[in-house]
Amino acid sequence: MVIKGIQSGYGIGSAFPVDKTKSAQGPGSLAESGGKFMGELVGKVNDLQLKADSEIQKLSTGESKNLHEVMLAVEKSGISFQFLTQVRNKAMEAYQEVMRMQV
């Protein structure tokens, strides 16, 4: 039985890009990359929420007649916010687990 590893192209590579120029990362650079990832994720979620607000405003003023596009934008922003919340919760659980470890 052959078990293959996770290969790029399954979606995880785009979420956690690997810089192949660095051979080993220290704890500081790992924390910086995690912070950068969270910062980018928060920025993307914020952009989606601003777009949804803009679509709602256009619908309420009569500029747009496409209710389905507004609903898609609102649902997309809601799902992305739920994803951000779950990522934050998992990161906090991992941090708390590391802090509980005895040295």
Q: Would 17 be classed as within a structural domain?
A: no
Residue 96 banded pLDDT, cuts 50, 70, 90: very high
Q: Would 52 be classed as within a structural domain?
A: yes
* Structural domain for 67, as ranges: 26-100
Q: Would 90 be classed as within a structural domain?
A: yes
Domains in the chain, number:
1
Confirm whether pTM is higher than 0.75: no
Mean pLDDT calculated for residue range 28-52: 88
Res 13 pLDDT > 90: no
Question: For residue 54, how many C-alpha atoms fall within 13 Å in the half-sphere facing its CB?
Answer: 6
Q: Say if CB 56 and CB 72 are below 8 A apart.
A: no
Mean pLDDT calculated for residue range 29-49: 88
Q: Would 6 be classed as within a structural domain?
A: no
* % of the chain beyond a pLDDT of 90: 58
Q: Would 21 be classed as within a structural domain?
A: no
Place of tokens 């039985």: 1
